[in-house]
Amino acid sequence: MAMTIQSLERALKKGYPELHFAVNRQAEAIEFSFGGNDHYRNPNGEDTLVFGLALFNQGEYLEMRCELLYDLSECQHKGAVARVLLGASLRSQLVQFSFDESDGEIRASAELVLADGACTPKQLRAMIEIMYDVVNAYHPHIVRAMETGEVSFPNEETLVRPAISDADGELQSPVSIDLGEMLKGMLATSRERGRKMWENAGPPKGPGRHL
């Protein structure tokens, strides 16, 4: 059985019990935001990252996206930015950055083919936190490319998944970002990063295209 918007809501609530989010049942979409980002600032200068989750093809396909991350409409170094975005997409495996030439928008997205299955709470939380980490890790490099035309990338050490908790809740060693690990449903529980995310978590706000 394909995933429904109701089952997606339940998975999100189980993964983030205190999270407030907006739901559009007709569009089968959910939006929410996290603040307190380590690096990322939206085009309005706010540290708010807006997430959207949407089901397609009768619930057989899940897309997560962060829209309007940056505006390149007046940027003089689009080629340099494109190189950073391509490098980020190739290195992160799960998160893909794209650029809309018609309006200058940069967005990030991640996709999961569900077929006749469903996304578990652990998978969903892992997807969200990988997106959060990747956007924050690449933000200084994207901004540098926008402002100076310089192409740079984060150190490999910075591109690691948060520590994974074992059955007793103890933190194990961090592991590299890996789609296969995410698909196994491993739950990211970095306490410090989680605390920062929760300081300003809530319904969508900022420049994202809201429901």
pLDDT higher at 205 or 180: 205
Cα(190)–Cα(111) distance, rounded to whole angstroms? 23
Asked, for residue 207, whether it belongs to a domain, the answer is: no
70-87 in b/e burial notation, b at 16+ Cβ within 10 A?
Answer: bebeebebbebbbbbbeb
Percent of the chain with pLDDT over 70: 73
Asked, for residue 204, whether it belongs to a domain, the answer is: no
Residue 106 pLDDT > 60, yes or no? yes
Asked, for residue 206, whether it belongs to a domain, the answer is: no
- pLDDT tens-digit series, residues 123-163: 999 999 999 999 999 999 999 999 999 999 987 655 544 43
Q: 118 to each of 59, 144, 169, 183, 184, how far by Cα in Å?
A: 9, 39, 25, 11, 13
Q: Which residues constitute the domain of residue 125?
A: 5-199
Asked, for residue 209, whether it belongs to a domain, the answer is: no
Looking at the 3D structure of the chain, how many domains does it have?
1
Asked, for residue 142, whether it belongs to a domain, the answer is: yes
Q: 68 to each of 71, 132, 169, 205, how far by Cα in Å?
A: 7, 15, 36, 12
Four-residue CA torsion sign, 96, 100, 101, 104: negative
Q: Which two tokens stand for residue 209?
A: 């295209």
Asked, for residue 143, whether it belongs to a domain, the answer is: yes
- pLDDT tens-digit series, residues 88-98: 999 988 999 99
Asked, for residue 210, whether it belongs to a domain, the answer is: no
Asked, for residue 127, whether it belongs to a domain, the answer is: yes
Q: What is the CATH number of the domain that holds 132?
A: 3.30.1460.10
| First and final C-alpha spacing in the chain | 26
